[in-house]
Structure 1
Amino acid sequence: MVAYSKPQSLMSMLLTVFVLLQVSVAFSHNAHSHPAHRSPAAMEAHLEDTRSMLIARAGKVTVKGAPDGQYPRLDIRELKKNADQWNLFLLAMERFQNKPKNDPMSYYQIAGIHGRPFVAWNGGSQTGGGGGYCPHGQNTFGSWHRPYLAIYEQAVYQNAQEVVASFPKNQQQRWKKALTGLRIPYYDWAAEPPRGEGAIPTSMRDQTVSVTKPQGKVTIRNPLYSYTWGNSLPSEMGWGPSNGFATTLRRPVQNPTRSNNNGVNAIFGQARVGWRQRVFALFASKQPWGYASTAAFGVKTIRSNADSFESIHDDIHGTVGGTDGHMSYLDVAAFDPFFWLHHTNIDRLLTMYQLVVPNTYVVPGKVNRNMFQWKAGQTNDANTPLVPFQKDNRGASYSSNDVKETRVLGYYYPETQQRSAKQVIQAVNRLYGMGERQMTKRDGEDAAPIYAGRPFQAGDYDTVLSVVGDKYAMPGSYQVHCFLGAQPANGTAPSHLPTGLVNGTAPTTKPINGTTGNGTANYEYGFDSSYVGSHTFLGGSIAGTGNGTAPTLVEGCIPITAALQEKQANGELASLHPDHVEPYLKENLSYKIIGPNGQEFAPEDVPNFHVQVKSCEVEPSTSEDELPGYKEYIELPRASLPASQPWTYTPGPLDTTPDTPAESPEGYCVSQQTIRYVDPAGNFLYEEVTGM
């Protein structure tokens, strides 16, 4: 089986060439005729009409990624250092977001694949039970998003090509050079930011940005800040946060309705410590990729770790969106530009993890809810077509095996350039190890009182609060906030956080404590001295899975280790051993559950909700070329909390368990096969033998 062997389809190439010719002819005509005959607006309209006509003739879109070879996706701060490429990226994003909504390569349609407006993309049809395409809480979570990011990257690149063609001919060589190797960036929310900078780059928070266009320097709306549907939400969307607000919102506040981007930045400065611990522990666990990639409780046949990359992913969504922002709802999250920077980082971490556990990948699992392309109960595996992402002009879709090597889609990451586990491990130790500097007030507006942790020592234990719940228990997301010490009173703003502006990035602005859509106080727990961290159960706008048979149980965790290290450093705790930690947590550990619109829920009122303190011994690494050894996590039952009573997990009808046969999904047979990985030009990369 050839995973990818053909160059870009002829129709796609003709489309690009034809559009560029149209632009060139337009500029040539404009240079030799009266300006009134070919205004910039008229040229733009002509280009869009031509593009729409060619798309209609071309038929279905084939997902290829950027067409110019294999180049790295860079951290957003690194991409910004290349001024011309950064300028081109911003202009491409602006053009992309302004594409007509009926264009399958528009931002509106590509973002809409993920969830709403719950319609077919790329000429397909509904073959499942409804809803959107995204397989969250399922075994294909990581692999499905890979071609999804590739079509997004492909669209960005195509728009960049059109931007290059819009410049005068004598300037185009400069911008063609910037176009070479242009890839979508990622935002590493777990790594320590540069000293003096906010946790979230200002390029993602500024409302406007200065760019160079053919007419010179201009200021435009920042396409990384938000996306807008226009004056109102399209009727086919059906629903949106904040009563259908027509621009994406982050942790919104009201009167007037607007994003609180500075609040998000400040909270990220606190939450990053926990996310870093989670990423580090996952890499050190070395559990199979199929189990580490998904939050699905029933898929995990090995319980060596209470966490997953998808579970961490969920908490970033919830932290950006808050109680009523777009990122907190699966069915509209992809419209926020933050989504793409975040998911590219998730893809990066999963690609790095592949090299740490090279002989593992997607495991068979049953679809646990009705989706647009799949029905609940269907068994999916690494050969299942990842609808709706077409890989050739015959209509075949990519499978997880097809996209196991990212270079098939024209990209890699700085840490995977050498395809070396050693390179990845060194990067993980450097970026996410427990030895970073402690944060101080000099570090900018996101300076945090949270202890950043120290390197593991002999005899240390890693301790977490494991949380299990129904992913779709509520109409929206719900968060578990964890405290070590006295809980703050809900609805009371900390005195050291003055209110101020909510947008822009002036260093004097601070997060504000506004109100949610129903007028309930929106307390920002992350700034209290007793705060440890949070975990989000990321849901959609409608409660329930749509299958009517079983809940979708997922598991994640809230790291407690760094907070306990601080207590040990202060003399409040003798050691990190369970003998000392368990009684301390019994007296000091607590949590709150906050649901949509800021409502607090009692644990007994949340279906299938369970918590449990877990701990495992850690063997410190002896060099930067190895990771610490994390042993089996054990429960600490004496650290009792509400909903921490012992319970027995009973596999449901849609779960995958050790006894589930690796049956083939309907429509194809599975056999041992050789996958040859080649680049878009057909050049051989490597091959591997797989079998289910």
Structure 2
Amino acid sequence: MMNPNSHGGLLPTLLAVFVLVHAAVASLHGVHHAHHVHHVQRSPNALEAKFEETKQLLEKRASYIKITGVTGTVQPRLEIRDLKKNADQWNLFLLGMQRFMAKPKSDPLSFYQVTGVHGRPFVAWNNFQPINQAGFCPHSQILFGSWHRPYLALYEQVWYQNVLEVIATFPTNQQQRWKNAAATLRMPYWDWAKVPPNGEASTPTSIRDKTVTVTTPSGQQTIDNPLYSYNFGTVPSEMGGLPWNNFPVTLRRPVANPTRSNNNELATVMNQRRINMRDRLYGIFSSGASWGDVSTSAIGVRTSQNGNNVDSFESIHDIVHTSIGGESGGNMYYLDISSFDPIFWLHHTNMDRLLALYQVISPNTYVTAGKINRPMAQWNAGEPKNSYTPLKPFTKDTAGNYFTSEDIRNTRVLGYVYPETNGNPTAASVRSAINSLYGPSAPSKKRHYSTGPFEGRPFRHGDQHTVLSVIANKYALDGSYVVDCFLGHSNSTKNMTSASYDSPDYVGSYGVLGMMKADRNSSNPVMTEGCLPLTTALQGKQISGELKSMSPQHIEAYLKDNLKCKVIGPGGAEIPAEQVPDLHFYVKSCPVTPASSPEELPTWGEFEVLPEVTKHWPKVGETYTYPKPAAPAVPASPESPSYGTPSVPHGTVPVAPPMGTSSPPANSVVPLYPTSTPESPFHHPSEEPGYCQQKITIKYVDEAGNFLYSEEK
């Protein structure tokens, strides 16, 4: 036997700890895997080599980034206009952003590297080497909502460290003032759907101003606004090139001569699209669908649209992206480079907030089990995932253990809440906030709306809720595309540009967020579905006398003659809808039961397709049938938690019914977890390295540390 003292005191201890930990981990994971131990005689040289290998492994494990969010007391993330009301916190927010952006690109915690995790430059981060030339962001996947949560916490944590570094540069006698401001400071969000205060634009000037005045250790200074853009300096070759001839500064709705952002047009477009985006949020919150179904836009994940759910938060997220980036090709227009625009983080923090609100009103639902539908940096297509899947590359400790969706089910574990989830929120209190923020509230009589869209009115008994559903291939084009919708007798779509949607006939726009280079997999396209609500526009048409009533027969006849759509692709060119691969439309309507109190939401009846509206639209109005997954060669694994719909056999999912029908086709239940293949080596989520199913007890205390209550997840 070797003398352990010959290696010093520390390494044998590390080795012993490693052996014990390895044994414990093997024991814990024994519920999923069979382990066979073989006793092998090793020579001193072999033991020496094994010891060195173990030491290097331990050193590597100790180099992972521990993501905690901002530690200390749990504090609310505020809407950006509310944060600005606190001058000291706003000052620190901007200075922290400025310092964050100035960190060298070689730093793993620089703005460049942290934002680059989302998409390009498709390189390793946090010791994770991509297995595909792709980004880590799981758009149109079941983990879209939960994956972004630790990502935002990482961003917030690193930005906050920069805030603390800024405070240390102030004179000693001033630092306490700034420490007091930082104690409750968190990243803000931008609520692009709420009614802006005092008649302001829905896009705050604080995001659009090119410069800003701040208080620095040497007094007041005017600096480049860190919320306006990010400057790459020299664009790294690993980025693979940027739009606008590799322009090194992020752009929004860019124009040429000279190349620059058009933030005025951005403000106009967001104003014109706000009401329809508000209606979409209100429709989702009123749908009664599961959290997993409303979090992602992907067909094949949501399958049959979960009964009456017709939209998703991710789908609304897409139109915000495309509206900001613009058809002329700003950064937010392309999924793979969007995160470098600082507005991305304000937008995604709001998306996290919306998903957190939905968790409160639908507390017994969460991530839906499903399969990855396209190759990603951390996963291959076809791999099954669920709420215990490791959210790579985000580690919760320096040993390399990844967060799971279950770990971050409650935002408090990452140090933050939102105004609506602060304290002890209830479903009733959150529904009340949703009614206040996103419910239609305009007067129903004597409303003159010669310019701009009708604001909407509260629902009444006998009303119908009508939507234009859009089925789209997410990666059909090189870049994103937008469907603009108009409703009225005039020929509103002719020669209309994206900057002039001030007609009363304009309803809203539907965005499909793509990448700089299309992922054209014709045999397995990434199909998505969402909708544009038509109800508010129809109410306006009834008030103006164009529409006789809100009855289904009058609505269908009116829409057949007056509903118009146009597709705007990359570069701003109109594309005939039938030339966009896999693009389909249909209209459906349902009766509405108005809310009985301010703490309740309206409910939808059964949607019925109005086939006459789109049947004359070439190809795109034809009935679309969801693709049926091929049955695997072997049954699903019997060992798994209970996921998905309880009305079908364990390990299976229902196949969606054909469009316009309410019954699934024959033999519509197929196994959820197929056999493994070389391209997809896992046939059950638990087989992925790092998978860990666990229960977490969360204890809540007040600011004095007194126990309030606990819950088990």
TM (norm. structure 2) is 0.80
In 1: Cα distance, 2:412 partner to 2:392 partner? 20
The offset of 1:653, in angstroms, is: 5.6
In 2: Cα distance, 1:638 partner to 1:601 partner? 24
- Does residue 566 (structure 1) correspond to residue 572 (structure 2)? The answer is no
In 2: Cα distance, 1:625 partner to 1:654 partner? 45
Contact 1:410 1:679 in 2 (8 A): no
The offset of 1:675, in angstroms, is: 1.9
Change (3 A) 1:543 1:525: farther
- Does residue 215 (structure 1) correspond to residue 190 (structure 2)? The answer is no
3-state SS of paired residue (1:347): helix
Structure 2 runs not aligned, ≥5 long:
1-58, 633-651, 655-669, 674-683
Structural mapping, 1:255-294, within 5 Å: 255-294=257-296
* Structure 2 equivalent of residue 495 of structure 1: none
The offset of 1:240, in angstroms, is: 1.4
* Structure 2 equivalent of residue 317 of structure 1: 321
- Does residue 162 (structure 1) correspond to residue 162 (structure 2)? The answer is no
The offset of 1:587, in angstroms, is: 0.4
Structural mapping, 1:391-410, within 5 Å: 391-410=396-415
In 1: Cα distance, 2:240 partner to 2:547 partner? 53
The offset of 1:607, in angstroms, is: 1.2
3-state SS of paired residue (2:387): coil
Contact 2:64 2:126 in 1 (8 A): yes
- Does residue 65 (structure 1) correspond to residue 69 (structure 2)? The answer is yes
CA deviations 1:257-309 (Å, max 9, x no partner) are: 11110111111111000010000010010100000110011111424122000
The offset of 1:414, in angstroms, is: 0.6
Change (3 A) 1:310 1:178: same
Match of 1:664 among 665, 681, 685: 685
Match of 1:174 among 164, 169, 177: 177
Match of 2:345 among 315, 321, 340: 340
In 2: Cα distance, 1:685 partner to 1:548 partner? 54
Contact 2:189 2:347 in 1 (8 A): yes
Structural mapping, 1:422-437, within 5 Å: 422-436=428-442
Q: Which amino acid aligns with 2:80?
A: I
Q: Which amino acid aligns with 2:332?
A: M
* Structure 1 equivalent of residue 679 of structure 2: none
3-state SS of paired residue (1:89): helix
In 2: Cα distance, 1:481 partner to 1:56 partner? 51
- Does residue 527 (structure 1) correspond to residue 502 (structure 2)? The answer is yes
Match of 2:587 among 588, 610, 613: 613
CA deviations 1:624-653 (Å, max 9, x no partner) are: 011111122221101123411122212346
* Structure 1 equivalent of residue 101 of structure 2: 97
Contact 1:378 1:665 in 2 (8 A): no
* Structure 1 equivalent of residue 417 of structure 2: 412
* Structure 2 equivalent of residue 578 of structure 1: 552
The offset of 1:101, in angstroms, is: 0.4
* Structure 2 equivalent of residue 249 of structure 1: 251
* Structure 2 equivalent of residue 644 of structure 1: 621
* Structure 1 equivalent of residue 13 of structure 2: none
* Structure 1 equivalent of residue 90 of structure 2: 86
In 1: Cα distance, 2:151 partner to 2:565 partner? 36
In 1: Cα distance, 2:344 partner to 2:75 partner? 22
Contact 2:119 2:337 in 1 (8 A): yes
Change (3 A) 1:405 1:448: farther
The offset of 1:654, in angstroms, is: 11
Match of 1:187 among 180, 187, 190: 190
Over alpha carbons, which structure has the higher Rg?
2
Q: Which amino acid aligns with 1:350?
A: L
Change (3 A) 1:667 1:688: farther
Structural mapping, 1:454-469, within 5 Å: 454-469=457-472
In 2: Cα distance, 1:198 partner to 1:441 partner? 21
- Does residue 356 (structure 1) correspond to residue 361 (structure 2)? The answer is yes
CA deviations 1:55-74 (Å, max 9, x no partner) are: 99972211100112200000
Contact 2:478 2:514 in 1 (8 A): yes
In 2: Cα distance, 1:57 partner to 1:213 partner? 39
The offset of 1:527, in angstroms, is: 2.3
3-state SS of paired residue (2:581): coil
Change (3 A) 1:287 1:650: same
In 2: Cα distance, 1:448 partner to 1:387 partner? 48
The offset of 1:410, in angstroms, is: 0.3
Contact 1:676 1:684 in 2 (8 A): no
The offset of 1:687, in angstroms, is: 5.6
Change (3 A) 1:523 1:78: closer
CA deviations 1:2-43 (Å, max 9, x no partner) are: xxxxxxxxxxxxxxxxxxxxxxxxxxxxxxxxxxxxxxxxxx
- Does residue 227 (structure 1) correspond to residue 230 (structure 2)? The answer is yes
* Structure 1 equivalent of residue 379 of structure 2: 374
Match of 1:484 among 482, 487, 510: 487
Change (3 A) 1:468 1:235: same
The offset of 1:170, in angstroms, is: 0.5
In 1: Cα distance, 2:700 partner to 2:241 partner? 41
Change (3 A) 1:611 1:525: farther
In 1: Cα distance, 2:389 partner to 2:72 partner? 28
Q: Which amino acid aligns with 2:486?
A: F
The count of aligned residue pairs is 601
In 2: Cα distance, 1:387 partner to 1:158 partner? 23
Change (3 A) 1:639 1:563: same
Q: Which amino acid aligns with 1:423?
A: S
In 1: Cα distance, 2:124 partner to 2:554 partner? 56
In 1: Cα distance, 2:60 partner to 2:381 partner? 33
Q: Which amino acid aligns with 2:385?
A: N
* Structure 1 equivalent of residue 697 of structure 2: 676
Q: Which amino acid aligns with 1:244?
A: N
In 2: Cα distance, 1:269 partner to 1:611 partner? 25
Contact 2:62 2:399 in 1 (8 A): no
Q: Choose 667-676 or 206-215, whichever is displaced more.
A: 667-676
Change (3 A) 1:56 1:86: farther
In 2: Cα distance, 1:79 partner to 1:587 partner? 47
In 2: Cα distance, 1:573 partner to 1:312 partner? 28
Contact 1:441 1:448 in 2 (8 A): no
In 1: Cα distance, 2:105 partner to 2:309 partner? 43
* Structure 1 equivalent of residue 602 of structure 2: 628
Match of 2:126 among 103, 117, 122: 122
The offset of 1:670, in angstroms, is: 8.1
- Does residue 327 (structure 1) correspond to residue 332 (structure 2)? The answer is yes
Change (3 A) 1:684 1:238: farther
Contact 1:300 1:657 in 2 (8 A): no
Q: Which amino acid aligns with 2:508?
A: G
The offset of 1:203, in angstroms, is: 0.5
* Structure 2 equivalent of residue 421 of structure 1: 427
In 2: Cα distance, 1:180 partner to 1:469 partner? 45
In 2: Cα distance, 1:176 partner to 1:463 partner? 52
The offset of 1:487, in angstroms, is: 3.9
* Structure 2 equivalent of residue 24 of structure 1: none
Q: Which amino acid aligns with 2:119?
A: G
3-state SS of paired residue (1:369): coil
CA deviations 1:182-228 (Å, max 9, x no partner) are: 10000001110012211111100100000000000000000011111
* Structure 2 equivalent of residue 110 of structure 1: 114
In 1: Cα distance, 2:595 partner to 2:148 partner? 33
The offset of 1:360, in angstroms, is: 0.3
